Amino acid sequence: MIAITRGVSRSLGDCELTWLEREPIDIDKAIKQHHAYEALLASLGARVISLPALEDHPDAVFVEDPAIVLDDVAIITTMGAASRRGERATLAQELSEFRGVIYMQDPAKLEGGDVMRVGDDLYVGLSARTDEAGIDQLRDLIAPMGYRATEMRLSNCLHLKSACCFIGDETILINRSWVDAAPLGQYRLIEVAPEEPAAANALRVGSAVVMPDCFPRTAERLQAAGFDVRTVDVSELMKAESGVTCSSLILS
């Protein structure tokens, strides 16, 4: 198992924001938190490949958005935030060591944070960063490889993975108020604690589920359902409208 990450840019405070009010970010603390996140991934069995920070790209630490990694191919996305498109080249170069690389084309828009994979099914959020044309283009790209794409309707959140994440064992952690759960009826759905609406972003790594340490009630729900939950402090990174899935690409 490989986890591709990228260093925190000192320009992170100039990140793109859609739903959150801008707050000062302690960059040194964010760097330490990211290192702790990488160490947690390594402790769970991942070989962490950390790419250098891109100082001209504040959001570059969030490597999930420029790419979708499937079994044999990595798809480089068009990125709904135009300011982030310069992040793609070095990430694509690294991914080419492990997968064939194909590129989506403008004017369609799509970001990896809007794509939740469950086996051969890709659930794709229609969001401020991903449009209908992006979903259609992705569907056309993956169909010959045996994958299916299902559009998901969102509200009040940045990406699909802000609202729901596959955590293994046929289970999805979800905030039903942010996403229409109708297409997910075949899975076991665990709802976030009502007082923790942003807790649905969680990352399956090996046999564990990684989530931020600021959502203890939701963590308790996962533990009660039999999941091995590991928490990490990513509070400064979360000010940039991120979650734990955003900062790595897991290749297995």
Q: Which CATH superfamily is domain 2-251 in?
A: L-arginine/glycine Amidinotransferase; Chain A (3.75.10.10)
Query: Domain locations in the chain?
Result: 2-251
- Alpha carbon distance 23, 73 (integer Å): 37
DSSP assignment of 31-49 equals HHHHHHHHHHHHHTT-EEE
94 by DSSP, 3-state: which?
A: helix
pLDDT in tens, 9-29: 999 999 999 888 899 999 999
pLDDT at 145: 96
pLDDT in tens, 147-189: 999 999 999 999 999 999 999 999 999 999 999 999 999 999 9
Which residues is 51 bridged to in the sheet? Answer: 6
Q: Provide mean pLDDT across the span 98-125.
A: 97
pLDDT at 252: 87
Q: Which residues contact 87 (CB under 8 A, 6 or more apart)?
A: 54, 57, 59, 60, 63, 65, 66, 79
- Alpha carbon distance 176, 156 (integer Å): 11
For the entire predicted model, the pTM comes to 0.95
Residues noted as catalytic: 159, 246
- Alpha carbon distance 95, 4 (integer Å): 9
